[in-house]
Structure 1
Amino acid sequence: MPMFAVPPEAPGRELAQALAAGPFSRALSLAIDRSGLGLARLRGRLAAAGVPVSTTTLSYWRTGRTRPERPESLRAVAVLEDVLGVPARSLIELLARPGPPGAPDPVRWERLWGPRNDVLPVLHSFDAADETSLLVLSLHEALHVDDRGCLTRLRVREVVRAVEEPVQARVVALRGCVPGRPPRLVATRYCRPVRTEVLPEPGFVLSELVPGRSMAVGETAILEYEFEYTDGVPDTSYDRRFRHPVAEHLLEVHFARDALPAACHAYRLDARGDRERDVTAVPLSPASPAHQFATGVGPGIRGMRWSWP
């Protein structure tokens, strides 16, 4: 059988095409291959430049499992451009493009909270908020509303899968109904908080939770946690923001039996400020909670709103 040699310029041409058209993971992988540097040597170069990145994270970047999002990660990509000998900002600019269909690339927090939201700087200060190590597979949450229309507590049960080790954590954020009195994390099960930040004026609480045991990549775990609302102000909506796709999401809203809303609707948004989509009426009954259930949930915002008589 005749053997055909690959023209020596072919790898360079492939890399040039990937740098022009993306995706980021393919361009990075081809650049690493061309350089002849292993991930351990790249990690050493990055550490020497003051932007340490683990070999696991580098592997996930080049395979497309995750993408650099945090400011520190973007600085590491800029150093990689120099180390790998590709044009300045050629990899950075690919990150501004959406990933290919079916890719697990997350959306940016700015899309979900708005570009000038006060929560963003604090959110980005959590490594686990941007460099995902636990992916949510299933999310069940139960919101309780008292007879005055005030939100009282939120109970959440998540099934997560580890996609990176050894550091595995999940950051959750909850906004209160009015500025000045944010909710409180009051209980956890199968996990524990390692850092909690409270933003009194905008009314946010953010907590970093870690599973009760270390997990190998691919393993699943259950996380349960509960927040208590403290503002005592009636509200008419609740939503959840998703950076990553989730296999299933169940939202229950438990209204007081003798104080049901006049109407209730479920909706979704692709980004904060967008028009509501897939608006559907939710049945109300004193015998069961109002609920919204969805499978194959994509990145964006899903919630329910209601109006009082």
Structure 2
Amino acid sequence: MPLFAAPQPKPAERELAHALAAGPFCRALSLAIDRGGLGLARLHDRLAAAGVPVSTTTLSYWRTGRTRPERPGSLRAVAVLEDVLGLPARSLTELLVLPGHPGAPDPVRWERLWGPRDSVLPALHSFDAADETSLLVVSLHEALHVGADRSLTSLRVREVVRAVDEPVQAKVVALRGCRPGNPPRLVSTRYCRPVRTEVLPEAGFVLSELVPERPLRIGETAIIEYEFEYTDGVPDTSYDRRFRHLVAEHLLEVHFATRDFPATCHGYRLDSTDGPERDVVEVPLFPATPAHVFTDGVGPGIRGMRWSWG
């Protein structure tokens, strides 16, 4: 028998750990509240103090499974609850977004994000990984660079992905240039590798299927990085990213050449390609720093930034 034995987790702790790994959200939240010893009224006060007020009735509904947090403000409140209850970051949030967990929404169809007759759709559907969500994006950081001639020059992306299925563990990235006949090209990858690339010159699209450097067990995370280069030289005034499922956080930063700064810049959201712009916010512009929009709890749809030189 060892002289110093590692303490074994109590049954309640094991039960909570299992709920955080397997769900459902309501059970994990209920067990975490029981362990923390805070009543719903005190949780309400802590959330209000953090700027994300949630009524005790709503907290009770979340705990019993009668309703689920879905709106961006509710997802921000869940992130605060994780901190207040002493849980790992995003442990509750991911129970709401991971495919396969009870109540998790299915990814939206590509047709909603590109339009039902967009020429990229047949190419997208030819990739198994485009329709099978085996890698879920947890965190997405994009850095877009705009040259002095006002054309896009490069896009550098860093993602944290989590394996939610096996054996297929890949993702497809689709990027469109500003002029048909001259699509962007994938110039580098890090911590992942391209296994298939399709170029649609007439539509100005490039699609690449990326896989992490090593197979992931279900629940494991990995970092993947990739860079595209734009070569069409056509001035552009916007960029957007399409989300099929909820993503915990998204940071879009746009670097403008200091010699030619835009007059205005705005972030926006679209629910579909033909929908109106929502959540329009003015993005401040300062020399030597990128314009950026940060969003936590990003729902399915289109998020982007547009700018104008007046």
TM-score normalized by structure 1? 0.67
**C-alpha distance in 2 between matches for 1:225 and 1:66:** 28
**C-alpha distance in 2 between matches for 1:259 and 1:197:** 34
**C-alpha distance in 2 between matches for 1:104 and 1:158:** 21
Amino acid at match of 1:179: P
| Alpha-carbon distance change, 256 to 137 in structure 1, aligned in 2, over 3 angstroms | same
- Offset of residue 148 of structure 1: 1.0
**C-alpha distance in 2 between matches for 1:298 and 1:104:** 10
Amino acid at match of 1:165: E
Report the equivalent of 1:174: 175
Deviation sequence 1:168-192 (CA, Å, 0-9, x none): 1010000001111000000000000
Structure 1 segment 1-309 matched on structure 2, within 5 A: 65=99, 103-309=104-310
**Contiguous gaps of at least 5 residues in structure 2:** 1-97
Amino acid at match of 2:146: V
**Matched-pair contact (CA < 8 Å) for 1:266–1:292:** yes
Deviation sequence 1:126-181 (CA, Å, 0-9, x none): 00000111000000000000011000000000000001112210100000011110
- Offset of residue 104 of structure 1: 3.0
**Matched-pair contact (CA < 8 Å) for 1:158–1:222:** yes
- Offset of residue 232 of structure 1: 0.2
**Contiguous gaps of at least 5 residues in structure 1:** 1-63, 68-99
Amino acid at match of 1:271: S
**SS of 1:257's equivalent?**
coil
Deviation sequence 1:20-49 (CA, Å, 0-9, x none): xxxxxxxxxxxxxxxxxxxxxxxxxxxxxx
**Matched-pair contact (CA < 8 Å) for 1:258–1:286:** no
**SS of 2:281's equivalent?**
strand
- C-alpha RMSD over aligned residues: 1.4
- Identity in percent: 78
Deviation sequence 1:231-278 (CA, Å, 0-9, x none): 000000000000010000000000011111010000000001110001
TM-score normalized by structure 2? 0.67
**C-alpha distance in 1 between matches for 2:205 and 2:274:** 19
Deviation sequence 1:100-126 (CA, Å, 0-9, x none): 9x5231000000000000000000000
**C-alpha distance in 2 between matches for 1:160 and 1:285:** 32
**C-alpha distance in 2 between matches for 1:104 and 1:259:** 43
What is the count of residue pairs matched by the alignment? Answer: 213
